[in-house]
Amino acid sequence: MKSLVLALLVCALVGTAMSCDKFQKYMEMFCKYPGESNMCLTSNALSYKASCCASKGGCNSREFPKDKVCCFTQACLDRCYPGKGHRMGTVY
């Protein structure tokens, strides 16, 4: 019985970790300017991670809150990539 409970707990933890991996994957996919290695995120981007990780199986790419996690303004581009001269409209 203890083995079963332990196995279920491990499965739940692995599932949660995989869901959180999806959040990181989507941030990498949607929140980077082409050719850059760093993401450009809003100041409260990680506050949305818990809700994505809590979803059964994690959030999918359509449910990922891009507009709340990724920073899509010129001010953000200037903050994230200072001196690079990136302009909105050529980013996403």
Distance of CA 72 to the CA centre of its chain: 14
Predicted confidence (pLDDT) per residue in 13-50, tens digit = 344 444 578 899 999 999 998 889 999 999 999 899 98
CB 20 within 8 A of CB 53: yes
pLDDT band at 80 (very low <50, low <70, confident <90, very high): very high
- Top pLDDT among 86 and 69 is at 69
pTM of the model: 0.67
Query: What would the two tokens of residue 30 be?
Result: 């949607």
Nearest Cα to 59, choosing from 20, 1, 2? 20
Which ranges in 31-84 belong to alpha helices (H)?
A: 49-54, 66-69, 74-80
pLDDT digits (tens, 9 = 90+) for 64-76: 999 999 998 999 9
Give the alpha-carbon dihedral of 67, 71, 73, 74, to 10 degrees. -160
Q: 53 or 91, which is more confident? A: 53
